[in-house]
Structure formats: structure tokens, C-alpha cells
Structure 1
Amino acid sequence: MNQLEQLKAHTIVVADTGNFKQMAQYAPRDATTNPSLILKAVQQADYAPLLTDTVAAHRGKPLDEIVDQVLVRFGLEILKVVPGRVSTEVDARLSFDTAATIARAHRLIGLYEAAGIPRDRILIKIASTWEGIQAAKQLETEGIHCNLTLLFSFCQAVACGQAGIQLISPFVGRIYDWYKKQAGAAWVEADMAGANDPGVKSVTQIYNFYKKFGIRTEVMGASFRNIGQINALTGCDLLTISPDLLAQLQAADAPVTPALSAEAAQQLDLEPVSFDEAGFRFALNEDPMGTEKLAEGIRLFAIDAGKLDKLILEA
């Protein structure tokens, strides 16, 4: 049995790509997209017609409406491949605007529902800013489930749990990148692998906290750099994995054993934690990695959203 099959016995596997034609061979349950992945896909010959056809069908409408039509068009194609859910992201440029995030989420859900897709197959992806978390809290009360992304800091996870969010996506690889860059020449890869990987440690801490205190929010590790990180989080609720790493897991056959379990977490001696807005902002400020990677992630997604805008205007 290959490592992908072994992983699926303990964890829900999610495909992290906009490339729905490549997805089926890995049989993921869910799929996630983001502005960068959609931008990458629409620049490929296989997917360019999907962009041009959608733009042509909605020409004359405001740009942001056409963008949402393109995102949902990809989501609809992905939902033909996966049996579960697709995550579709709200424009990162709205990350500090609660009301605008809610409005955009309503529009995305409306487009899916108009196409006959029920709400329980969609996760609205929102950056884990305080404003984003409050938007998601409101949306969850309406039965619109959310995936809080760009999550790097423990305080972000705690606030999402308090808000009753459906799912969070802590970014393993980007945390790893930050600590590796900080260490420079002092970084020893072998010493920082597996359970010692800083990204793995972050997700483990969040998972254990949620399971210890009965928080229903699903934990989906994301942004992996190697299959060692994935194997070290076997047992996590979900893991969203790029096609390249799915292929590596499929080609490997070393034993995979669960590293995380709800039962083990419940035996841990942990203290309850909660945050109001001021406490959240201070805790995030006290975490240089979390602060820097959240800001950088929003900037990068905003840049790619701008590039997608440009492609649509030129189509």
C-alpha cells in the first residue's frame, strides 16, 4: 500500500490546486483553491477557454463580479471531480473589511446555489485577520461554512475556534520557511524534520488544543514543502496537498503511522485560552513569524488577484 493510501486511512486528503483535470488520479475528498492557483491554471492552454468563455458571458458587468464568476466556474468543475467540498476564496484585498467580506461571500454562495450546488459543498476561504474571523463568525450563523486561511499563529486558531468556524488551514510550509530563513547557516535540516519541524509543531499544538477542549473546528494542515511534513501530521483532520506531493506520496511505500489523535490530546495537561480583539491583536503582534507571514500572504494573494483582474480585462 502506498503512502497516499495509508494516509487516507487516518486523514481526509484534500487536493490543493485549480488543476481539476489532474485531480482525479489522486481521488481526494475535497479541494482547495486560492487566487495564485487559479491564476496559474488560467494561464495554461487547457484552462484558458474557461476564462475567456466566462468573461464573454458576463462582459459589461463590474470586474469584481466577473472575477467571482471565474472563481465559481472553476469551483463547479472541481465539484464534478471531488465528492466533497471546494474552498473558494474571497478577494484578499478585503482582508480588513468585515462587511465587504460578508457581502462577497454572499455573492459566491449565491452563484453556487444558482448552479444547483448546496451550501454544505462550499467553504468560503477568508484570511485569518480579526476582521476576517468576525466575518466568518457571522457567515457560519447563516449556514455558510468557512475555511480560515493564512493561519500562522496560535492566537488565530484560538479565535477561529471561539468563533465557531468550520475549518482552519494552518500553513505548515510557510512557517517552516520563516524559521529556516531566520536560522540561516545555523539551520540543520535533519534536526528540524518530522515532529521537530516548526510548521508541524504549530499544527500539532492547534490540533491538540482543539481536541482537548472539544472545539469542533476542523484542522486542515496546508502549504507543505515535503512529504515528511505530511507524514508527521498523519491523523490530523484533513491535509491539503499539492499535486506534486500527492504524486510523491503515491510513489512511496514506507510505513505511515498516525502522529496525532484526539484520544491522546484529551489526556494532555493544557490550559484553556481565549482572546478578545485587543488580546488577539497583542498576541499576534508578539509573534513575529505570525505577523510577518500573515501580512506577506495577504500581499501575495492581492498581487495575484490584481494579475487575474488584468487577464480578465484583456480577455
Structure 2
Amino acid sequence: MENPRVNLLEYVQSRTQVDYDSFDIEAAREFGRYVDCTSNQFEYYTELAKNNRKEVLDRAVKFSERNRHKFPSVSFSELAVEAGIVYLAMEMRPLIDGDIHVMANPRYAFSKQRVVENAKRLHQLCKIIDSSFDTSRLVTKVAATWEGLQACRELKYSGIKTLATAVFTMEQAVLAGEVGCTSISPFVHELKALFDQRYQDNDPLLELCTQAQQWYRQESIPTMVKACATMGVEELLQLAGVDALTIIPGDLKELRSTYRLENEVKTLSLFGHTSTVPEKLSYPCYIDDEARYRVEFDAAEDGKAQLKLGQAITIFSDFQVKAENLVKAVEKI
């Protein structure tokens, strides 16, 4: 029987929505168009710190100077970073057919009201910077704390789409679906492993992606599973079949340049006959039961999930501060 070789990027795209996991527009142009684009504070800092992005940073600072009186609840530097985020997002539009994901300030992760205000402010900034932009394409990424997910619940009623990020447990996934998140991003690896080469995360949460997707379909919940924080091509092949994969430029390049036997790659997927997910999953309703949610989330993975979530929030918050410091450095010039 014929067993042809397949291009890995084409194979993954045949089974899964492939999203671009970066705001690096130069790298993005190498691969053509994407469905969605996603970003975070690491991306904002990295892009705004580049010499060839100085014009974007300068525009963001000038925007904050002109408009700070409209947003008295945030600092000058925070407003400038958010303007920079919007300018970067607007640049990605020609390459994106679907939604552009921007992350709420992670320092607000434990304040429902501040997350709500942040998401609404990002929408306001989009309209000020480019009134022609369709804000239904803007998705606010929110750290999946109890407070953050309750903010997503409120934002849904305001017509603002949200993605629950830094998801490490089914408790988070269940609540995200209940509050109406458009999508979730299960982190296959804890975030520290992606930033510290000396740190090894030997327990990837691949099955969390299959379980969350099965749960949503079982319960007729429209929330999409967008797997992220993967490490290497093998994990991407294992996740072929998930609703969406957010893939960094380096892995996109490797997928595009690699060919393997079709039967070999098909057997790697966890979505299908190799999945160990039970036929029917059972979880309680959490949306109005904060006490139960906190107890069960805190106990998940013997407490490790709570630490992973806190670690991710800390890492993203550090990059938020670094981005704001870029603005402060421009102010002093």
C-alpha cells in the first residue's frame, strides 16, 4: 500500500487551524496568511525594543501624550504600551483572515474590574487609532484566574470576545466554557520551560487539550481549544486534530521544511484511536460556586497547577514592566 511522504506544515493545516504565535511581522510574511494571530507581553516588549520598531514606540508615546486625559485610571507608560500593542496588531491585519488576540495586563489577573476596564480600553484604543477596524476581530486574552474568568463572563455581555490563557487544568477549562470564552489556550508546558533552557518540564499536558476539546463538544459548548506553549515539532504532530495550534515562527519553519511518511505522522495524533480520554467526562458546574472552584483548582495536579498559573502571571508581568520601562526611557530623551 502506498505510503507517501507529506509536508508537515500542510499535514497539520489539514487537521488543525494554524495560528501565528507572534507579533514579528517580518517572520510572518515568510508564511503567507494565517487564520488568527496571538500575542502576549513578551511579544510586546520584544517588538517594541527592536531598533526597527522605534517608530512604533515613538508613535505610542506621542499617542499617550495626546490622549492621556481620556484615560485617567492608567499611567502614562501603561497607556503608551497599550497603544503600542494596538499599532502592532494593526500591522498584522493584512496577514490575518480571522481574529487578533491581545493580552490584558497580567498585573490585573486577580482583579475582575481591572480586567474588564482593560479589555474595554483596548477596544476604545482600536477605534481611536483606526476607526475602520472591526473590533469584533479583537480577542482579549485573560489569565485564567477565578477573577479573570468572571471578568470574561461580564465582557461577553458587552460583546467583547475573550480567550482564557495560562490554562493548566480542566477546572479552568470548564469554567472558561461556562463564562463564554471564545477560546482557551491550554499551556502544554509551564511557561518557565520556554524561557529558561536550564529548566526541564518533563510532564507536558498534551491530554489536557484532548480532554478540554471533548468536554466542550460533549456539552455543546462553542469554546475553541487553542493549544500553545508546545516544545518542538513532535508535540505539534501529537496535537494535530485540536481546534487550533498557536505556533511560533521557528516551529513553522521546521514544519514547512520537513517531510515524513504519512502513516507515521497520522499515528502520532492524540485525537482519535490513540486517545486515552474516557468516553464521557464528568465535571461540576463552577460558574457560581467560587468556593468549590478554588478548592478543586488548588488541589489540581497536587497543587502544581496553582504554582504554574502564578508563575505564568509573574513572567508575563515582568515583561509588562519591561515594556513600560521602554516608554519611560523614551520620555527621558
SS in 1 for 2:190: helix
Q: 2:28 aligns with which of 23, 32, 46?
A: 23
Query: C-alpha offsets along residues 12-39 of structure 1, whole Å, 9 cap, x if unaligned?
Result: 1011112012112223211111001111
Shift of 1:92: 0.5
TM-score (structure 1 length as normaliser): 0.88
Q: Measure the CA separation in 2 of the matches of 1:301 and 1:176.
A: 10
In the other structure, the counterpart of 1:244 is 250
- Residue 165, structure 1, aligned to residue 181, structure 2: yes
Paired residues, number:
301
In the other structure, the counterpart of 1:285 is 298
Q: How does 1:137-286 map to 2 (within 5 A)?
A: 137-174=153-190, 177=193, 198-254=204-260, 255=262, 256-257=265-266, 259-260=270-271, 268-275=279-286, 276-286=289-299
Structure of higher CA gyration radius: 2
**What residue identity is the alignment partner of 1:17?**
S
Shift of 1:272: 4.0
Shift of 1:108: 0.5
Contact 1:175 1:198 in 2 (8 A): no
Q: Measure the CA separation in 2 of the matches of 1:211 and 1:101.
A: 28
Query: C-alpha offsets along residues 97-149 of structure 1, whole Å, 9 cap, x if unaligned?
Result: 11111111111012223412212211101100000001111111221100111
Structure 2 unpaired stretches of 5+: 1-5, 69-75
**What residue identity is the alignment partner of 1:95?**
A
**What residue identity is the alignment partner of 2:121?**
R
Q: 2:14 aligns with which of 9, 30, 35?
A: 9
In the other structure, the counterpart of 2:104 is 90
In the other structure, the counterpart of 2:61 is 55
Contact 1:221 1:240 in 2 (8 A): yes
**What residue identity is the alignment partner of 1:8?**
Q
**What residue identity is the alignment partner of 2:318?**
I
Structure 1 unpaired stretches of 5+: none
In the other structure, the counterpart of 1:299 is 314
Shift of 1:231: 0.8
SS in 2 for 1:168: strand
SS in 1 for 2:51: coil
Q: Measure the CA separation in 2 of the matches of 1:289 and 1:41.
A: 32
Contact 1:155 1:283 in 2 (8 A): yes
Question: Residues 59, 279 of structure 1: CA spacing in aligned structure 2 closer, same or farther, 3 A cutoff?
Answer: same
In the other structure, the counterpart of 1:105 is 119
Identical residues among aligned pairs (%)? 25
Contact 2:100 2:138 in 1 (8 A): yes
Contact 1:175 1:199 in 2 (8 A): no
Contact 2:187 2:227 in 1 (8 A): yes
TM-score (structure 2 length as normaliser): 0.84
Q: Measure the CA separation in 2 of the matches of 1:42 and 1:31.
A: 17
Q: Measure the CA separation in 1 of the matches of 2:90 and 2:217.
A: 33
Question: Residues 86, 54 of structure 1: CA spacing in aligned structure 2 closer, same or farther, 3 A cutoff?
Answer: same
Q: Measure the CA separation in 1 of the matches of 2:63 and 2:214.
A: 48
SS in 1 for 2:205: helix
Shift of 1:271: 2.1
SS in 1 for 2:133: coil
CA RMSD of aligned residues (A): 2.5
